[in-house]
Amino acid sequence: MTLRKLAIVALGAATLTSCNEGNDSLDGAVLTTNWDSLSYSIGISVGNGLKGQKLNEVSPNVIAQGINDVLDSTALIGDEQANAIIGAFMDKQRNEQAAAAASVANGFLEENAKNPDVVVTGSGLQYIVIQEGTGEKPAATDKVKVHYHGTLVNGNVFDSSVDRGEPIEFPVNGVIPGWVEGLQLMSVGSKYKFFIPSELAYGERGAGQMIGPGETLIFEVELLGITKGE
C-alpha cells in the first residue's frame, strides 16, 4: 500500500469513525459498536501498511489531527502542498533505496564477471549457459514458452513459474530488456542463468513489493518452445 493510498484509507477511517456515536477516544478504545470494530480494523490495516513501508516514525496523533482538520476545513496546509510533501518524501526514499541497491549490485556484478563461466554482453547483461539446446532461436517478434525462477542478489525469490509448476508464454519483445536480449541468445531446449542489471530490468522504479528500485535480477530460464510471429 502506497503512502497516498494509506492517507486515503485513513481519511475513510476517520469518516467512518465520525459516524459512530459510540467510542471516539484514542486511548483505551472499547469496541462497543460495529462502527468501532470497523474503524479499529481499518486502523490496524493502516498501521500495518506504515510498518511495511518502515514509516514507524510517523506520528499517529498528527495523522489523526490532519484528518480531523480536513473534516473541519481547518487544515494547516493545502492539498497541493500536502501532495508535494508526500511526493518529495517518496522520491527521496526511492532514490536512497536505488542508491543502496546499486551499490550492492555493482559489487556483485563486478565479482560475478570474474567467473570464467560468465559471459558479459555489450549491454552489461551477464549469463551462464547451464544447458545448451539444439532447437532454433527466437526472434523479437516471436512468442516463447519458458520455465523460470527469479531471485534477487540476496537470494530472495520474487517470482517463479517453476515453483508454480506451470510454464508461461509471452512475446519476446513484451518483457524487460534483459529478457529480450537474453532469450534471443537461447536455442529451444536451452537453460541459461541471467544476471540482469537494474538498467536492463525495472530501473529506479522497481516493480511491486518484492523488486525495489535499482535491483539486479537473477533468473534461471529454460526455453521450452517458440511460436513464430507473423
Give catalytic status of residue 168 as yes or no.
no
**Annotated catalytic residue within 202, 211, 218, 226:** 202
Q: Which residue has the cell 529478457?
A: 179
115: which 3 cell numbers?
A: 567467473
Give catalytic status of residue 108 as yes or no.
no
Give catalytic status of residue 8 as yes or no.
no
**Annotated catalytic residue within 196, 218, 219, 226:** 219
Please choose, from the candidates 73, 66, 91, 61, the residue with its C-alpha nearest in 3D space to the C-alpha of residue 8.
66
Amino acid in position 73: S
**Annotated catalytic residue within 36, 67, 159, 211:** 159
Give catalytic status of residue 159 as yes or no.
yes
Cα distances from 216 to residues 125, 135, 194, in angstroms, run 10, 29, 10
**Annotated catalytic residue within 148, 192, 194, 195:** 148
**Annotated catalytic residue within 42, 63, 108, 158:** 158
**Annotated catalytic residue within 42, 63, 128, 176:** 176
With 0-12 CB in 10 A as exposed, 13-18 as middle and 19+ as buried, what is 189? middle
With 0-12 CB in 10 A as exposed, 13-18 as middle and 19+ as buried, what is 16? middle
Give catalytic status of residue 40 as yes or no.
no
- The residues that are catalytic are 148, 158-159, 176, 202, 219
